[in-house]
Amino acid sequence: MTKADIFEKIQAKTDFNKKESAEMVEAVFAIMKTTLESGENLKISGFGNFIVKQKANRRGRNPQTGETLTIEARRILTFKPSNLLKAAINK
């Protein structure tokens, strides 16, 4: 499913036109993005949790040359689905 598909589904279920649906979805995604960029976790009840985790520096190796190198610290985003979503998927 693409963002355009989401716009169309919202338009079909509400009285919004396609442009209003697109603006609403883009606004929600922008809020989610800024929340996650700031390092905050995002919980959507009945859907799941988006969690920002910090990974430390670690040793790695170039598989082609065998040379050891340091993989820089970074933040990663994980998603943990809610029990409701898991149950709905596994029906």
Over the stretch 21-78, which tens digit does the pLDDT of each residue have? 999 999 999 999 999 999 999 999 999 999 999 999 999 999 999 999 999 999 999 9
Determine the 3-state secondary structure of 53 from DSSP.
strand
The torsion angle over the Cα atoms of residues 41, 28, 81 and 36, rounded to 10 degrees, is: -20
CATH number of 44-91: 4.10.520.10
Q: Which two tokens stand for residue 84?
A: 């409701």
pTM of the full structure: 0.77
Look up residue 59 and give its two tokens: 């040793």
pLDDT in tens, 2-25: 999 999 999 999 988 989 999 999
Beta strands 58-61 and 48-55 are: unpaired
Report which of 13, 15, 10, 55 is spatially closest to residue 29, judged by C-alpha positions: 10
